Every structure is written in C-alpha cells, then in structure tokens.
Chains A and B, each alone.
Chain A
Amino acid sequence: MIIFDLLGMFLSAYIVGFLYYGLYRNITARFQRRIGPTVLQSFFDSIKFFSKKESISHGWMFYLGPVIMATGAVMTLFFIPFFYKSESFSGLSQYGNLFIVLYLMMLGPLGNAMGVGVSGNPFAAMGITRGLTRLFAMELPFYIAVIALMSINHSADIATIAANQSTMNAFAYPLLFIAAMFSFVAMMGQSPFDVVGAPVEVYSGPAAEFSGKFLALLMSQSSIMSFAKLVLMVNLFLGGADGFLELLGKTFVLFFFVIAFGAMYGRFKTPQSVDFLVKVPTAIAVIGLILATLGGQ
C-alpha cells in the first residue's frame, strides 16, 4: 500500500532528521570545546514550538508560506527512493526522475519567499535575496556533476544510478564528487556558505517574522529536507543503500563530513560565496565531466 510506504518514509525522515539535527548541535559544540545540548534537544524544541502560540501573523499568505515550504520538503522526500533494490520506501519515485527532484528541491524556498515577502520585513526579504543568490551559484557545480552521472548511466532515474555502481561514483569520479560536495555543504546551509540564515549578519534572515507553530514547521521541514538531500547524495555518489543500517551509516558519514567542514571554515559574504562557487567547484566539476565523458567512450 503506497500510503503506508509514504507514511513510513515521512516518519523515518522526521525522526532521523531531528536526530541528526541534535547531533549537529552536539558535534559542533565539541568542535568548539563546549558540551552542547543533548541529542534530543532539537526534538523537544520542535514539540515545544508546536504547542506555543504565534506572536504575530501577517495575513493568509504569511500563513501559507511555511506550509508550501514543508510541502516542498515532503514532496522532495517522496520522489527520492531510499533503497535501490526493494520496492518499499521508493515512494513516488517511479513517477518522476532526477530532473523533477532538482526542481522540487527549490519549490519550498520559493513558496516560503512569498510568506516572508508579505510580512514586509526588509531584513527577511534581504535574507531571501541572499538565499536565491546563493541558490543559483551552489546549483551550478551540482548540476554539472549530476548531469555527468545521468549521461554516464544513460538514465535520469535515481534508483538506476544508485544500482549502477560497481565502484562507488565517489571513487570512480572523484572530481565530480568533490565539486558536488562543495554544493552539498552550501545546500545544507553550512559554513562557509551559511550567510542566509546567519543571525548576526541579517537580523535572523528569512525566518525573522516566524514564531510558534510556523517556526516549528520550518524546523521540521528543514530536518526532513536535510535527510532527503543526504539520501539523494548517497544514491548518487555512495552506491545507494540496501537496508536501513547501510543508509544510516552512509548518510551519517556524509553528514559528519559536512559538520566538520562547516566547523572549520569562517563565513563568506554572499558575493564571495557566489564568486567562489562559480569558480573553484565549477572548474573542478567541468574537468571531472570532461574526464568522465572521455573515459566512457
């Protein structure tokens, strides 16, 4: 039954996502020689926020913004198969392919941008502009890497790409993987590309006006989205997974790398991050793409 399948995907993403979010806070704290909160703290926070009253609303579009954002995250999750072999936990992925996932990933932020815009807070709108600016820059190396994989496998189907790796793509095409990892760090909102939600830079960025249940919804969608992106990366570069344990192991390795990377580097300004992303990772990706297509022939 597809309903139970989707429900299972949603629940596992929700739980694992929050677990990872807690781990993120904990591990970052250890990097900074703090003890940090407990692993379940983020989960408690979200429960607390769900039961809180909102401080303010700016009309129906403000209400719908976070809802569209969460819808985008859940849709993205449903179009990415968890396992390449089994039929279960494949969600709706048979009805679409990688192109639709790449676009669904951007649907949420664009919907939320409407909710943020209607609040009339110029700082929040500034955060959105920075987000959209960073978005196109970080997508470029990722697109090149993903398109190279699609071309190598002659398919835009995620499960096919995941199954079709005798050696993991990360080792078979290391340059593509490195380039995609730069984008991935930016996609996960980690330093050095974390100017969008940076509290000190713009008065807490796109989320400035949201409180209570809206904030809880935004937090939940961000954990679901993080997990969806991790699964996508595992499918594309780390050979996919055949069971929950393998999936958790592989996603955690990726996740730990992203956290460690973020803990080491300082923050770029928006123009700096665009400038960096369209130069270094893009150049690596282009070289990787040329090598990969030459090798394939």
Chain B
Amino acid sequence: MKIKSLIFPLFTAFVVLLLVSLGGAWQMDLSSFGLEHISVGLKVTALANFFAILIAFSLLTISFLSEKYSLSKSFKLLLYLLTWSMLLIVYASDYLLFFVGWEVMSITTYLLLSYTLSREALIKYIVFAIASAMALLTSIMILYSGADSFLYADAHQAYVALSSTLKVTFVTLMLFALFVKIGVIGFHYWLVDAYTQSHDLFTAFLSAVLSKMAIYALIVFLIIVVDISAMSDLWLSYTLAILGLLSSIIATFKAINEDSMKRLLAYSSIAQLGYIVTVLSFADGVSGALYHSLIHTLVKLLLFINVASIIYVTSKSKFSELGGLIYRMPQSFVLLLVGIIALAGMPPLGGFASKYLIYNTLLEHGNLLILSAMMFSSAAAFLYIYKLIYGIYLGHPTSKKLETIEEVPSIFLIPQYIIAFIVIVLGTFPGIITPYLNSILGELKLKALPLVSATVLGTENGSYNGLIVIVAFALIFALILFALYSLSSNKIREAKDRFDIAYCGEVPNEGTHMHYAFSMGKELRRVGFIGTILRNSSSYFYDFLSRQLFSFAQLLRRIYSGNLSANFNIAAIFILTLLWWSLK
C-alpha cells in the first residue's frame, strides 16, 4: 500500500470538507485590471458541496486503485488538474470562472484520453468538446449582453432582459453544450468510444463525475438562470423531457445488444442520465435528479471498478470471451450483484429511492405518458443488467484459462465493499439525506421534501419505509431458506462438472457452444421498433455531415488552390473590392 499516491486525493478531500464545514464566498471586481463591469467570484453553496463531495470521493476511490496500474506521473498530474478544474466549476459563482473550469476540464480530459484512445475516437471527442465549448461561450456572451454581468446572481435578470430571439438562441446553444457533455442521445457520438477505449480507471471517473458536471450546469441553468418553475417556457420542459426519454429508451436497447462490457456500461450511463434530464423538466425534479446523481455516481464507480478488476485479472473485455467466474471469484460476484440491483432500482437497495422520487415528481405534474415510457425503459434495462452479470459470472467459462483463475486482488474489492455498504445504507435509510437535499432545495427556493424520519422517504404522494422493506426481505428470505434447509434430510448431489446438465437428451462436450451471452438480446432485432433502433445510428448523420463538409472544402480548394499566382489574384481582387467599398 503506497500512501504516496493518496496524499493529493486526501488533500483534495480535506479541502472539500473544509469548504463544506466553513462555507464562505469570495468576489473580485476586475475593473482594477482594466476590465469594467466584470466581476468573478467563488461561493460555497449546498449544491456545489453536493457535487464537490462526489468529486472528492471518486478521486479517492480511483487513486486507491492506482497502484495496481503503472500510471505515469503526467497521467496522475492531469487527473489532479481535472479534479481541481471540476471543483472550480462547482464553486464558481459566475459564468466566467465556470467557463474557465469547463475548458480546463475538456482539455485535460482530452489529454487523459489520448493515452489510450484510437485516433478516430480522439478526433470525435475533441470535435465535440470544442463545439460544446464554443456553444457555451457564445451563450454566456449572449447572457452577458442582458445585464453586463457574468454572476449567477444577476443571471435571471439578464435572461429576462433578452429579446425573445436571443432567448431561444441562448437556450439552444446552452442545451447543446450541456447535452454533448451528458451524452444525450444524438449528441453521444463521442461518448461510447471514449468510454470504451479510455484507461479502465479513468472510465469510472468519466462516468461517475465528469458527466455530473453537465448535470450540475443543467440545474444551475434551469433553476437559477431560466427559472423553469415559472412555467413560461413550456417548450423547454418538453424538449428536456422528450430528449431525456429518447436517451433512456434508445440507449437501453443499444446496451442490450453490446458484446463489450464497457460499451454496455457506457450506454447504460447514457440511459441513466436520460432519466435525470427528463425529471429536470420540472423544478421539483431537482430532488430526484440529485438523488439519482448520487446513486448513479456510486453504482457506476462500483460497476466500472468491478469490470476493471475482471479485465485486470483475465485481460478479456467481452462477454463472449468470459463467463462462469462466479465460484472462482464469489466476492466480486456478490458485489456486482449489489451494484446491478441498485442500478435496476430494485426495492431493498438505494436505487429504488431515487427512482421513487423521480416517478413521484412526474406523477405529481401529471406527465403520465412520459412516466409510463420511463418505467418501460427501466423495465427493459433488466435485460442488459442481466446480460452484464450473466456474461461475466454465470453461464460457462469460454476458455481453459478462466477455469483456474483466482479472486481479484483485495485492493479492488475494498472500494467496492465501501460503495456497496453505502448503497445498502441508502436503501435502509432512504430518508437519511433528505435534510441535505432540503438545504439544497431551500437554497434554490424550491419546495422542500417532507421530513419524516431517516427510514422513510417522503414525497407529496406518499412515502415508503426502507427499513421495513429490507428487514421484511431479510426475514422472509431467512425463513424460506431455513425451511428449505430443514426439509433436506440428506446432501444434494453436486454437479460432477459443468457439462452435467439437462441438455435435450444430448451430451454436451468441450466443443458445444454453451455460453449464452453471445446471443442474448439478438432476438430483439426481430421486433419492429427495436430493430429500427438497433439498425440506425447517429453516426449516419455525422458521417453525412462530414461528407458534406469535405465536399464544401473541395469546392473551396478549387478557388484557393495553393497556387501562388492564383492566391495573389484573389488577394488583389479582395483588396480592390474593399477599397472600392470603403471609398463609395
């Protein structure tokens, strides 16, 4: 255990805790530097603290594992820089510092990705990152034109002062910038490749906190700037709800069809963030969005660490190359099981609490069709969730090497145990973070959640008691197990080997194709609408766009051919035209 690699993450966590406990604000007028009307500031708010804690926790978890990978010093330095840029994003109290943080985040992510990504995937990332940053910058400038201030405090006033055309432009550009980072479907072109090919540790970080920065920015944008609760922007609500919903449905079906573990989880991230985007179409949805952000950060850290440990031990990353590992690594199996139950939003664990808040918000606002479609995509998610655990741990080992493999190193297990513990605690005491959520909601001037007790998660429409659910589950489980055990008088015969199964009267052997993970979900192609989703891809659109750009560039190349005399002629004509125009 090298403590050296933990010094900086611990320092970061310490700083975050210090900020959380002390609070404070800092603001500076830049007029002394010759920049009139511009002031920048940092402010410790409850919302910022929430995300800062997630960032610090994720960095600690990742750094804890870093000794198993020979990470170069520059990689670690970039990772720390990335963390601090994210802290700048959340603690900034104006859009100027926010943008600085956003840019540093994008660039350091690019550099971190460049260690492992293919050239094509890197170009995809940087093109989208630059487009997102440019859109963000333009929209910030538009907002500045409203009230001559970058501060969040003046932002709503600035937004109201904008003309209606500028309002639409501002909202569209801002949403584009944030949707690219979240990876809303259609804007996710860069995301899946970047997640799949990035360093195994860094993928966890990408999914857990990097995507949450855009969620944070979306909350700030919707609540503080636009003030969506005023309901003057119905089209904005519907855009968010429908795009989020499409994200969750399309990404869920795409995930079912993937053979690579990390690609499946990447699509799963898109789908889960789709729920958050949908619920943010209402101001009251912030509580559900925050709770789901918390659960998603924890669960994705757990799942990506689990997958990383499997890749570390087996050096295989596809379901069709794995399988049957459950009795080789039982601890990893149980941890992944906890993770997927939380991901599926099943009742005994914390995942249900966030789903419950989201569903209740949608029900309260009467968005019934969107709620049904969301529950539908959440039920469809069971298929990819089952594929994840089946492909790795159940079924049959697909190679000899997998039959003799050992449990993953304990250093991978410790952070997973901690996260699993937190998820179980959140399931038992779903109301435990209600006071914290309420302080955020109070700060944003939103309706607070009813405070009942730690074991009860209350909403306007009713509540559920997590402790009763988990205790009842444990008791019934124990009773049935005991009854079954006491009925068995003699020992059950264990299977001789893995071919000792009922197999239609035939006898399977080494050559028989037994691991079902290959074809899981393939059947869905034959269902009309799912087939359409699976056959189509946003890459068609972007390929089309790039082809058009290329032919346009070809056209320009005809005129600006690189020939010196031709260039001189063009320049001469241009200057003459300018002269003529200025003298006119």
Contacts and interface: CB of A to CB of B under 8 A. Distances in A.
Interface of A: 50-51, 53-59, 61, 63-64, 66-68, 70-71, 74-75, 78, 92, 95-97, 99-100, 102-104, 106-107, 110, 113-114, 117-123, 125-126, 128-130, 132-133, 135-136, 139-140, 143-144, 147-148, 150-151, 154-157, 203-204, 208-209, 212-213, 217, 270-271, 274-275, 278, 286, 289, 293
A50 B484 CA distance: 9
Given A56-B495, A71-B477, A209-B501, A118 B326 contact: yes
A59 B146 CA distance: 68
A120 B492 contact: no
Contacts of A58: 494-495
A151 to B, nearest CB: 5
B379 A95 contact: no
Nearest to A116: B394
A61 B356 CA distance: 29
Given A121-B501, A275-B528, A71 B480 contact: yes
A71 B473 contact: yes
A228 to B, nearest CB: 13
Interface string B331-363: 001000100010011110000100110011001
Interface stretch (B51-59, B162-170, B380-388): B380-388
A295 B310 CA distance: 55
B527 A274 contact: yes
A147 B527 contact: no
Interface stretch (B232-240, B284-292, B366-374): B366-374
A269 to B, nearest CB: 8
30 contacts: A54-B493, A58-B495, A59-B494, A59-B495, A67-B477, A70-B480, A97-B462, A106-B379, A110-B382, A114-B337, A117-B389, A117-B390, A120-B324, A120-B394, A122-B395, A122-B396, A122-B515, A123-B502, A129-B520, A132-B382, A136-B382, A143-B375, A147-B372, A154-B461, A155-B461, A156-B360, A208-B501, A213-B484, A278-B527, A286-B369
Contacts of A114: 337, 389, 394
B327 A144 contact: no
A75 B468 CA distance: 11
Given A136-B382, A209-B502, A96 B465 contact: yes
Residue picked from A78, A120, A129, A150, most chain B C-beta under 10 Å:
A120
B383 A136 contact: yes
A271 B502 contact: no
B21 interface: no
B287 to A, nearest CB: 16
Given A156-B461, A293-B368, 20 more contacts: A56-B493, A75-B476, A103-B355, A104-B347, A106-B346, A107-B346, A114-B389, A117-B394, A123-B504, A133-B524, A136-B383, A140-B372, A143-B375, A150-B363, A151-B363, A151-B368, A155-B461, A203-B503, A204-B502, A213-B488
A54 B492 contact: yes
A59 B356 contact: no
B477 A99 contact: no
Interface string B478-490: 0011001001101
B134 interface: no
Contacts of B480: 67, 70-71, 74, 217
Given A156-B363, A271-B523, A110 B383 contact: no
A120 B514 contact: yes
A78 B473 CA distance: 11
Contacts of A130: 523
Contacts of A129: 383, 386, 516, 520-521, 523
Residue picked from A132, A139, A140, most chain B C-beta under 10 Å:
A132
A139 B1 CA distance: 49
A164 to B, nearest CB: 14
Contacts of B250: none
A128 B524 CA distance: 14
Contact of B492 (A56, A106, A135, A157): A56
B215 to A, nearest CB: 23
B494 A57 contact: yes
B368 A92 contact: no
Interface of B: 324, 326-327, 333, 337, 341, 344-347, 352, 355-356, 359-360, 363, 366, 368-369, 371-372, 375-376, 379-380, 382-383, 386, 389-390, 394-396, 461-462, 464-465, 468-469, 472-473, 476-477, 480-481, 484, 487-488, 490, 492-495, 498, 500-504, 513-516, 520-521, 523-524, 526-530
Contacts of B502: 121, 123, 203-204, 208-209
A271 B527 contact: yes
Residue picked from A114, A130, A208, most chain B C-beta under 10 Å:
A114
A293 B366 contact: yes
B526 A110 contact: no
A139 B394 contact: no
A189 B441 CA distance: 45
Contacts of A74: 476, 480
Given A57-B494, A96-B469, A147-B363, A139 B504 contact: no
Contacts of A132: 382-383, 386
Contact of B386 (A54, A110, A209, A270): A110
Contacts of B487: 50-51, 213
Nearest to A126: B516
Nearest to B362: A147
A156 B29 CA distance: 52
Contact of B464 (A97, A106, A139): A97
Contact of B369 (A50, A70, A144): A144
B372 A143 contact: yes
A50 B480 CA distance: 13
A113 B498 contact: no
B382 A95 contact: no
Contacts of A270: 523
Contacts of B386: 110, 113, 117, 128-129, 132
